Amino acid sequence: MANQFLIKETMAAMRGLSACEIMALQSGCCAGIELLGYYEKGDTPAPIIYHLAPTTPDPGPDDGGSVIAVGSIKLIHNFVGDVDVKYFGAIPNADNTTLINQVLIQFDTVVLSADYKVNPVGKTDAGYTGGVKPRTGNTLKFLHGCKLYIDPNDSESYSILTLNSVNDVKIIDALVYGDVENHIGSSGEWGHGITVYGCENILLVNPQAHYCWGDGLTIASSSTHHNKNVRITGGTEAHFNRRNGVSIISCERLYIDEIIANYNGTIRGTLPMYGVDIEPNANGRDHIDCVIDSIKTWGNNEGGLEIIPAYMQHINYNAQGVFKCSIGSYVSNFDGANTQGRGSLRIAYADKAVAGIVETQRVNGYIDIENVTINDAVQRSVNFTRVADTGLSIKLGNVSINNPYTKQDNLSSRELRNAVCFITQNIQTTYGFININNLVVNDYNNNLVVGVYFRAIEDIVNVYQKVNIQRYNHIGEWSDPVEAPAYGSTGDSVIISMATPFYKKISGNYVMNNYAVVDKMVFEVSGNNSITLPNLSVVTNKRITVMANVNIDHVININGRSDTQLINVRPVKGQTVQLFGRGVLELEIKDGQWNIVKSVGEYQNAICKIKGDTISRPSSLDNTMYGFQYYDTTLKKFVYWTGTAWQN
C-alpha cells in the first residue's frame, strides 16, 4: 500500500535496507522508515521517522543520528527541540565523549537520559579541553538523575563537564562523579567535576559534583579573562571531593542560592579541604563579586567555609572593589577534623612577603555574612588570620557557636580550644576592620573553651578599633570567655561591646584573664564563690555588673566620664564585694570625678574596698563616695573617704 512506513527495530537494520526497500522509498511507495530503537527495540525515548533525503542540497555527512547514509541514498530526520543523545548511539559503559560533544555542536538543546562514561583528561594553557564541552548557546539537560562518570586515571588534572570561554549556556540538573577513591596517580589536585572558566551569562540549575580528584565545582578565570554573570540556582551539592567541594576563584556578578558541601577532603585529602573555598589567584585577572544566599557544610576535613582574598594582584586595588562577597547564611556542622585546625569558618590573608603584596596593591572591598552558625566544631570555630591587613571590611552578624571543640587531640589546646580566634602575625600596617554582631557561644557539652581568643594582636599598629564584637553572650563552661594580650596592648585594636549582657552563672571560684576593651559584662555567682579578673586591660566608659563576690586585680586603665557608672556591683544581700586594684594611679578621670562604685536598690550596705599603695590611692573622690574604704598597702591599714578627705 502506498505511503506506508517501513518498520525497523534498530539502526543496524535500517542501515541494511535491501535494494527493493530503497527502490520503494525512491518511488514513493513507502513514505519513510519508522525506527523503533538504536541498538535494540525501545532503547530510545520514542520511535522516530526517517525520510528519503533530497540529493540537492546535500544534507551533509552521516552523523549517526540525523543523517544516515544507506547505499546510494541518505535518510534524514529533522530533530526539533530537545535532542537526546540516545538517538545518536550513546550507550553506557563506553567512551561517549566525542559523540556527546558532536551532538552539542549540532543542536542547541541536548538531553542526557542515561548514565554515560566520558574521558575528562585534557588541559592546555587556554584551559581544560577534556570531558563534555557545551558550546556557546547550548542548553544541556540531565534527566531522571542520570550522571556523567569516568574511569580511574592517573592524570593530575581533568574536567568532567567543561565550560571554557563560552557564553549563554544553561546546564540543568548536572550530576558528575569523579575517581578519587580509585585514582591511579598520587600527584596533582586539579581533577575537577564541573569547571566554569572565562565564561559569560551562564546558568547552572541544581549542579552536583562528587568524588573528584580536585574540586567538585570550580569557577575561575581562563587564560585571558574572568567569568561574568554566572547564576546557580536550585541548590548546589558537592560531597567527598579530594580538595574542595566548591572553589570560587574568579567571577564578576556571581549568584548562588544554596550550597551544600559535605565530607570534602576526607578521602585522600589535600589542602585546602574545605566545603567552600573563595580564593582568587595571583594572575591579575581574577575578580570576586559574589552573592550566596545560603551555605551548609558538614564534616569537611579542614573546615566548612574559607575566604582568602590575599593573592589578587590587580594594578590598583584602591580604585576598584575587586573583592565583594555577601553571604546570607552559613551553617557548619562537625567541620574541621584535620589536626591543623584552620577553622570551620576561616577568613585569612597570606603573609605579604610570601604573596608579593605591596600596600599600593592591596584588596579593596568587603566580606559580609549576615548569619553564622557553627555547630560542634572539631577544631576552631571561627578563625581570622592576618585579615586586618587586607583592606577589606569584614562583618559577621548573628554569630552562634554551639558546642565548640568537641575533639581532644595532641595539639596545643591553648591555640585550638577556642570559638573565635584572631591571629595577626607580623602585621605592620592595617586597613580593614572586623565587625561581629550578636556573637553567641553555647557550650552544652561543658568543654573548657576560650570564647574569643586573640593571638599576636598586639603586633597591630596604626589601628583604631580593628576588631569590634557587639552583643556577645557565652553560655556554658569555659576556660576564658575572652583571652587577649594583657596590660592594655589591645586598647586601640579590640572593642567588645556587650549591649546584650555577657551572662555567666558561676558555680565555683573563677579567674578570668586578659580582657581587651569591654563595654559590659554580667556574671551571676552562686553561694560563697567568687570571680577574679586579673590583667583587665581596658574598660572604656562602661561598666561591669557582678552579682555576688568579685575581685578585680591589676586594673590597668579606666577611662571614665562624670556621668558614667564604671563598676556597678549588685551583691547578694549580706555578701562582701571587694575591688582590688594595683595601678589605680593610671586611672584617667574626667571632670575631677571618679564614680568607681554606686550601690543600688536594697543593697546600700554593701562593703566596697580598693587595695593599693599610698601613691596609687586617688587623691580625692566625690561626696557620693562617703564611707568608701581603701586598703593602703604602704600604711598596712584601711582608710576611708569622709566625703572631703581620706581618714585612717
CATH number at residue 131: 2.160.20.10
State which of 120-124, 404-408, 549-553, 620-624 shows the largest mean pLDDT: 120-124
Residue-wise pLDDT for 345-364, tens only, equals 998 875 554 545 555 555 67
* DSSP label of 493: T
Within-domain flag for 85? yes
Same domain? 59 vs 101: no
Q: Are residues 48 and 168 in the same domain?
A: no
97 and 69 housed in the same domain? no
Q: Is the pLDDT of residue 429 over 60?
A: no
**Nearest Cα to 200, choosing from 287, 141, 268?**
287
Model pLDDT, residue 115: 96
Instruction: Please indicate, yes or no, whether residues 235 and 122 belong to a single structural domain of this protein.
Output: yes
CA 180 vs CA 122, 244, 332: distances in Å: 17, 12, 24
Return the number of other C-beta atoms located less than 10 Å from residue 58's C-beta: 10
Mean pLDDT (whole number) for 285-292: 90
172/228 same-domain check: yes
Report whether 484 contacts 515 (CB < 8 A): yes
Coil, helix or strand at residue 348: strand
Domain contains 468: yes
Same domain, 46 and 111: no
Instruction: Give 118's pLDDT tier (boundaries 50, 70, 90).
Output: very high
Q: Please give the residue range of the domain that contains residue 472.
A: 330-355+379-500
Whole-model pTM: value is 0.81
As given in the structure block, the three cell numbers for residue 585 are: 594611679
Q: Report which of 310, 387, 317, 380 is spatially closest to residue 350, judged by C-alpha positions.
A: 310
User: Which of 500, 523, 558 lies at the terminal end of a domain, its last residue?
Assistant: 500
Pick the last residue of a domain from 447, 466, 500. Answer: 500
Q: What is the DSSP string of 466-481?
A: -EEEEEEEEEE--SEE
pLDDT at 218: 98
What percent of the chain is modeled with pLDDT above 90? 47
User: Taking a C-beta distance cutoff of 8 angstroms, is the pair 75, 48 a contact?
Assistant: no
What pLDDT, on a 0 to 100 scale, did the predictor assign at position 17?
A: 96
Task: Name the DSSP class of 53.
Answer: P
Task: Reply yes or no on whether the pLDDT at 427 is more than 80.
Answer: no
Asked whether residue 314 is domain-assigned, the answer is: no
* Residues 294 and 339 grouped into a single domain: no
185 pLDDT higher than 70: yes
Cell numbers that stand for 467 in this block: 576588631
More confident residue, 424 or 63: 63
- Per the domain annotation, does 148 fall within a domain? yes
Residue 495's pLDDT band (boundaries 50, 70, 90)?
A: low
Is the pLDDT at 571 greater than 90? The verdict is no
Pick the more confident residue, 622 or 261: 261
Amino acid at the residue 30:
C
Q: Give the pLDDT mean for 185-209.
A: 97
Q: What is the DSSP string of 294-341?
A: EEEEES-SSEEEEE--TT---S-GGGS--EEEEEEEEEEES---STT-
What pLDDT does 447 receive? Answer: 62
Per-residue confidence at 107, pLDDT binned at 50, 70, 90?
A: very high
Question: Are 106 and 70 in a shared domain?
Answer: no
Give the model's confidence band at 402: pLDDT under 50 very low, under 70 low, under 90 confident, else very high.
confident
Please say whether the beta carbons of 476 and 442 come within 8 A: yes
Mind spelling out the 3-state secondary structure of 235-263?
A: CEEEECCCCCCEEECCEEEEEEEEEEEEC
- Res 464: pLDDT: 44
Task: Name residue, grid cell 569591654.
Answer: 518
Kindly indicate the confidence band of residue 595, based on its pLDDT and cuts at 50, 70 and 90.
very low
SS (H, E, C) 77-123: CCCCCCEEHHHHCCCCCCECHHHHHHHHHHCCEEEECCCEECCCCCE
CA 355 to chain centre: 21
Alpha carbon separation from 624 to 194, 599, 630, 631, 644 (Å, rounded): 72, 10, 15, 19, 10
Pair 267, 407 in one domain: no
pLDDT at 438: 79
How many Å apart are CA 63 and CA 343, to the nearest integer? Answer: 53
pLDDT digits (tens, 9 = 90+) for 304-350: 999 988 666 544 444 444 789 999 999 999 999 886 668 899 988 75
Task: Let me know if residue 522 belongs to a domain.
Answer: no
Residue that finishes a domain, picked among 78, 94, 111: 78
pLDDT band at 519 (very low <50, low <70, confident <90, very high): low
38, 374, 575 from 440: Cα distances, Å: 62, 10, 31
Q: Is residue 545 part of a domain?
A: no
- Residue 289 β-bridge partners: 252, 324
> Does one domain contain both 140 and 247?
yes
Spatial separation of the C-alpha atoms in residues 507 and 545, rounded to whole Å:
17
pLDDT at residue number 410 = 31
b/e for 393-404, b at 16 or more Cβ within 10 A? ebbbebbbbbbb
90-103 pLDDT per residue, tens? 998 889 999 999 99
pLDDT at 403 over 90: no
So what's the pLDDT on residue 613? 74
Cis? peptide before 57, omega within 30° of 0: yes
The pLDDT of residue 40: 97
* 181, 202 contact by CB (below 8 A): no
- Domain assignment present for residue 478? The answer is yes
Q: Give the integer Cα–Cα distance in Å for 512 and 536.
A: 9
Number of domains in the chain: 3
Per the domain annotation, does 461 fall within a domain?
yes
The whole-number average pLDDT for the span 133-142 is: 99
Least confident of 161-175, 186-200, 563-577: 563-577
Sheet containing 530-533: order of strands = 510-511, 530-533, 549-552
Beta-carbon contacts of residue 51 (< 8 Å; ≥ 6 apart): 31, 32, 75, 76, 77
Res 511 pLDDT > 70: no
Q: How confident is the model at residue 548 (pLDDT cuts 50, 70, 90)?
A: very low
Q: Indicate whether 9 and 136 sit together in one domain.
A: no
pLDDT recorded at residue 392: 74
Please give the Cα distance from 398 to 408 (Å, whole number). Answer: 28
The reply to whether 247 and 394 lie within a common domain is no
Which position has the higher pLDDT, 150 or 508? 150
Distance of alpha carbon 142 from alpha carbon 110, whole angstroms? 9
Residue 46 reports pLDDT greater than 60: yes
